[in-house]
Amino acid sequence: MKVSLSRKYAFAASHRLHSASFTEAENQRLYGKCNNPYGHGHNYTLEVTLTGPVNDQTGMIANLADLDAFVKARVLDDFDHRSINDEIPAFKSKVPTTENLCTEIFNRLHDFPHAKLERIRIEETSKNSFEYSVPATE
C-alpha cells in the first residue's frame, strides 16, 4: 500500500489567455472571455501531494511546517496577488492556462527535499480542476 499526504493552499492572481501564434480573431474565438485584453483573475486552490515512508520518530511523511515554508517561498510569494502574464517569467512566452500552471508549479516544487512530490492539483474555480503527476518513468 502507499501513503500520501495532501495539503491545500490558496492564491489569487490575474491572467489573460492569449497566444502569439494566433490572430486576434482566432484568440477571440479560442479563448472567449478569457482573452479580454485587460485580463481577469481567479482564486486558485493548489493541492500538493507528497509520498514517502512514514518516519518512525515523527509519524509523518514530511513536516508540514517545512512544506508550508517551501510552498510559500517557491510558489505563493511569486503568484499571490500578481499578474501571471506580467510577473512570472515562465509565462512571458507561455499561455497561463491552468494546465501550464500545473507543470510550472510542479517543476518549482519538484525538489522538495523531505518527501517525493507525487501530484499537483489546481482548482481554477470550484468547477475546473487540473492535475499533473510525476511521469511514470521516473
Partner 1 sequence: MVTLTRKIEFAASHRYHNPALSDEENRRIFGKCNNPHGHGHNYTLEVTVAGDPDPNTGMVLDLTELKKLMEREVMSRMDHRHLNFEVPELKGKIPTCENIALVIWDLLAPKIAPGKLQRIRLYEAPDLFVDVTAGNGART
Active site residues: 34, 81, 124
57 part of the interface to partner 1, by CB under 8 A: yes
Question: What's the min distance (Å) between Cβ of 96 and partner 1?
Answer: 24
- Identify which of residues 34 and 134 has a Cβ nearer to partner 1 in the complex: 134
In whole angstroms, the minimum distance from the beta carbon of 64 to partner 1 comes to 7
| Segment 94-101 long-range contacts (CB within 8 Å, at least 24 positions apart) | 95/17, 95/18, 95/19, 96/15, 96/16, 96/17, 97/17, 98/44, 98/122, 98/124, 98/128, 98/130, 99/130, 99/132, 101/44, 101/130
- List the 116-123 sheet strands across, edge first: 40-51, 116-123, 129-133
Q: Which residue, 30 or 60, has its beta carbon nearer to partner 1?
A: 60
Shortest distance (Å) from residue 138 CB to partner 1: 15
Of the candidates 94, 8, 82, the residue with the CA atom closest to the CA atom of residue 42: 82
- For partner 1, the binding residues in 63-82 under the rule CB under 8 A are 63-65
Q: For the segment 13-52, give every residue that binds partner 1 (CB under 8 A).
A: 49, 51-52
Binding site for partner 1 (CB under 8 A): 1-9, 49, 51-54, 57-61, 63-65
